[in-house]
Every structure is written in structure tokens, then in C-alpha cells.
């Protein structure tokens, strides 16, 4: 470890005191820690999602469910609908499971990293973040921004993901015993605003002095990333069935892709066959076009078919529900099916 590493925490915390981002789930630098519920909720929402995208969802969730016990008492369908559009829907299911576990324990989050790891859905990163930010515990918090900052500070040349153990060792070495929560948030802010993936603003960086990547003249080289594998493309079919200003929606299976969400019926395009399957309607059907959507590990071309018949009685009872078109935005459709709905409405003349 570079001898200058003992300069890092004081320099970074000084910068954070002057330049910390103002975020709705944070306490100002040096202030008492924020409510653990708000820290935990924000960290779950921020996983693989931008701050800009999360702000509105965080405000809506905390208005509707201001405490962890309020969230624990919520209906799962309402939580999934409120989450719609944030993606990675397993997070919403884990969110509710964790809230109910905390409520069962008396409504208070445990204050240690080890105890937090026991809760549903709290991995190493989230447990460390909550322990440091909400409880002031010394914990090593490494997200993508911190990963980039540390890889550059110490010019860690191994490619990701293999470099992660070395990055964690380096992050451990520079994490201070005091103000661990502020330090974690300062590292996140530095990566988000100064030490960015492209065109890092090294002249404004409080850590430019001890930064090995800057000294080497190639900060953008780090972290080194392995070549991406080609993402496969799948093809599926979804079905728009409309009657009396309402559309037929189904609930997807609780596990797997978009689990537990309201959706249009489809042909089971996912690898696990989680779709509801084609509805038992002989037709006639008409093509409304194709929606293209990207998931983490594959892309999807979803062909949309619109039902033009009147044999609604053959739809199986208890499998779906007629949802009013005027309230379709309240159904909480995931982005894929919201795109398909817009396509159908544009084609039928029911949308703007």
C-alpha cells in the first residue's frame, strides 16, 4: 500500500464537508446519522439505478410508507406497482421481505454489519452501507463508484471482476475508524462527480496528489474491464385483449423475470418460462408491431398481437383481471409491458 494512503481520509473528508451532494436520504456532513429505514431504502433503490431515477421513487415510497413497519404492512401488489419502472424487480420482493422481518424483530434495524447480513436481501454492500451510514460503524463500502476511485488511487491493473479482492483490500486500508459513514458517502460522491468513468476531473480532485493512476498519466485506464460477451437476443409474443375500455392483465409468477408484476399475457419468452402463456382465444388477432427491450443478460424483441374477437368468456377465471384503460398508469406495469401498452393504445386510437 502506498505510504501516502494515510493522507486519503483527511483530504477526502475535508472535501466532502464542503462539497457533499444534498440527497433526500442523507444527513449533512457531521450531522447525526439519518433514519436507518431511509438509508436502507435508498441503498436498495440505488442498486444498478441512477440517483436521478431514484429520487422520485424514494419520495413516493416514503410518503406512502414513512416507516419500515408501515412498509411491512403494505400489500405486495401495491409495493410492486409502486416499484414499476425501477427495474430489477427481485429488489422489491426482497424489500418487502426485509421490512416484514425487521417489523417482526420489533421495528428496529440491527446496528452491526454481521446482523444486517442476516436480513433478507441484504448483501455485503448494502449491509456495510447501512452499518456505516446509519450507525457510524466502521465498514468497508464498495459500490461501482468506490471501485473506480480505489482502482485509480492504487493503479490496480487486474481486470474486473478478478480485481475486486485487491480493490477491497485497498479500500479497507483507507477506511477510517471515525466518520466511516461520511467517508463512504464521500467516496461515492467523488466517483459520481469528479472521478467519473469518462473524462475524470483530476484537477478538482482532493486525492489527485496520492493518485497512482493520475501520476501514470492514464486515469481512464482504470478499472480495467474484461471484454464483454455478446448479449443474446430473444423473441417473444405478448397479447393485448381489450373490452369495454379495459384490458386483460395477468399476474406473473412470483419468482423469475418480472416476478409478481402485473403484465400483459405472453407466450413465456423468458428462459424459465415464467410468462402466463398465450390466452385461449382462437382469434382473429392483428399485429400491433414489436417492442425492443434490454435486460441485463439478454435483449428481447416482443411482438404484440391485438385480439379482435369477442370470445372473452373463454378467458380462464381467476387468472387475470380487467383493468380500466383510464387507470392503466396505476397498474404498475414493468417497463417492457408499459412500452407494449403504449404501442397497442397508439394503434387502437385509445392513447395520446
* Strand pairing category for 285-294 and 299-307: antiparallel
Residue 1 has pLDDT above 50, yes or no: no
Q: Say whether both 284 and 314 belong to one domain.
A: yes
Number of structural domains (the chain) is 2
Instruction: Kindly report the number of other CB atoms within 10 A of residue 228's CB atom.
Output: 6
* Average pLDDT across the chain, whole number: 89
DSSP 8-state assignment for residue 266: B
Which CATH number do you get for residue 295? 3.90.79.10
Residue 335 has pLDDT above 50, yes or no: yes
Is residue 271 very low, low, confident or very high in pLDDT (cuts 50, 70, 90)? very low
Q: Say whether both 303 and 221 belong to one domain.
A: no
Catalytically active residues are 43
d(CA 245, CA 191): 49
Question: What number is the average pLDDT over the span 81-105?
Answer: 91
Q: Say whether both 143 and 214 belong to one domain.
A: yes
Q: Say whether both 157 and 218 belong to one domain.
A: yes
Task: State which of 161, 194, 225 marks the end of a domain.
Answer: 225
Range of the domain at 193: 3-225
d(CA 187, CA 172): 13
Per-residue CA distances from 100 to 68, 75, 111, 327 (Å): 8, 11, 17, 29
pLDDT digits (tens, 9 = 90+) for 95-149: 999 999 999 999 999 999 999 999 999 999 999 999 999 999 999 999 999 999 9
φ and ψ at residue 49, rounded to 5 degrees: -140, 145
pLDDT digits (tens, 9 = 90+) for 211-262: 999 999 999 999 999 888 888 988 989 999 999 899 999 988 777 778 788 8
pLDDT value, residue 4: 52
pTM above 0.85, yes or no: no
Amino acid at each position: 500500500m502506498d505510504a501516502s494512503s494515510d493522507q486519503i481520509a483527511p483530504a477526502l473528508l475535508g472535501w466532502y464537508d464542503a462539497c457533499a451532494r444534498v440527497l433526500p436520504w442523507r444527513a449533512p456532513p457531521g450531522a447525526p446519522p439519518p433514519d436507518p429505514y431511509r438509508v436502507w431504502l435508498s441503498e436498495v433503490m440505488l442498486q444498478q439505478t441512477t440517483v436521478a431515477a431514484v429520487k422520485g421513487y424514494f419520495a413516493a415510497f416514503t410518503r406512502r410508507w414513512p416507516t419500515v413497519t408501515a412498509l411491512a404492512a403494505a400489500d405486495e401488489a401495491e409495493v410492486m406497482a409502486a416499484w414499476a419502472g425501477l427495474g430489477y424487480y427481485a429488489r422489491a420482493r426482497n424489500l418487502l421481505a426485509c421490512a416484514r422481518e425487521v417489523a417482526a424483530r420489533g421495528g428496529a434495524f440491527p446496528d452491526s454489519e454481521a446482523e444486517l447480513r442476516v436480513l433478507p436481501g441484504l448483501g455485503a454492500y448494502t449491509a456495510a452501507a447501512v452499518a456505516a451510514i446509519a450507525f457510524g460503524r466502521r465498514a468497508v463500502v464498495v459500490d461501482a463508484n468506490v471501485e473506480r476511485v480505489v482502482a485509480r488511487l492504487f493503479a490496480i491493473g487486474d481486470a474486473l471482476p478478478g480485481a475486486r479482492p485487491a480493490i477491497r483490500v485497498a479500500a479497507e486500508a483507507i477506511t477510517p475508524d471515525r466518520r466511516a459513514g461520511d467517508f463512504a458517502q464521500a467516496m461515492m460522491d467523488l466517483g459520481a462527480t469528479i472521478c467519473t468513468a469518462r473524462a475524470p476531473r483530476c484537477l478538482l480532485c482532493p486525492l489527485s496528489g496520492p493518485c497512482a493512476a493520475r501520476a501514470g498519466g492514464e486515469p481512464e485506464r482504470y478499472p480495467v474491464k474484461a471484454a464483454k460477451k455478446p448479449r443474446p437476443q430473444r423473441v417473444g409474443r405478448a397479447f393485448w385483449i381489450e373490452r369495454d375500455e379495459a384490458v386483460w392483465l395477468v399476474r406473473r409468477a412470483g419468482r423469475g423475470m418480472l416476478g409478481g408484476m402485473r403484465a400483459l399475457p405472453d407466450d413465456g419468452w423468458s428462459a424459465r418460462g415464467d410468462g402466463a402463456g398465450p390466452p385461449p382465444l382462437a382469434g382473429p388477432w392483428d399485429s400491433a408491431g414489436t417492442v425492443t427491450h434490454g435486460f441485463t443478460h439478454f435483449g428481447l424483441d416482443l411482438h404484440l398481437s391485438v385480439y379482435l374477437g369477442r370470445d372473452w368468456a373463454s378467458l380462464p377465471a381467476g387468472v387475470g383481471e380487467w383493468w380500466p384503460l383510464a387507470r392503466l398508469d396505476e397498474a404498475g406495469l414493468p417497463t417492457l409491458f408499459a412500452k407494449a401498452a403504449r404501442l397497442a393504445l397508439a394503434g387502437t386510437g385509445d392513447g395520446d
